[in-house]
Amino acid sequence: MTDTFRALCARMADELDRYRQLLMDDRRETHALAAEARAALAEPEPQGPSDEELLGLDDLRDAWNAQADAVNSWDELGIDEIIWFAQRQALARWGRPLPTDTTP
């Protein structure tokens, strides 16, 4: 979540509380949605993999050979194919699913 988006969510939560307080004339209560937004903002950002968690060339070779046929072994791959496979492995392990469109 970007800092701009986080700040916008915090401002919106403050405004929800302000409107609730104006309507209810109660300075103690917060809006339930504002409390939920603040709880989400308080959660730590997910961290990516460390260098140690990334697959090395030997790991990539073993993963490729485990799923490849004899004609299509690691030694037959070009650099473009190796990069493609490494990217696919990283996305499979640490990628986040894209948000789904919730437009009615």
Separation of alpha carbons 18 and 9, rounded Å: 14
Structure letter (DSSP) for residue 48: -
Q: Which residue has the tokens 């690691």?
A: 74
Q: How many CB atoms lie within 10 A of CB 10?
A: 14
Q: pLDDT per residue over 41-54, tens digit each?
A: 888 877 777 777 77
Separation of alpha carbons 34 and 84, rounded Å: 43
Q: How confident is the prediction for the chain on average, in pLDDT?
A: 78
Structure letter (DSSP) for residue 71: G
Whether 74 shows a pLDDT value over 80: the answer reads yes
Helix (H, G, I), strand (E, B) or coil at 74: helix
Q: Which residue has the tokens 């090395």?
A: 56
pLDDT at 100 (0 to 100): 60
- Reported pTM: 0.44
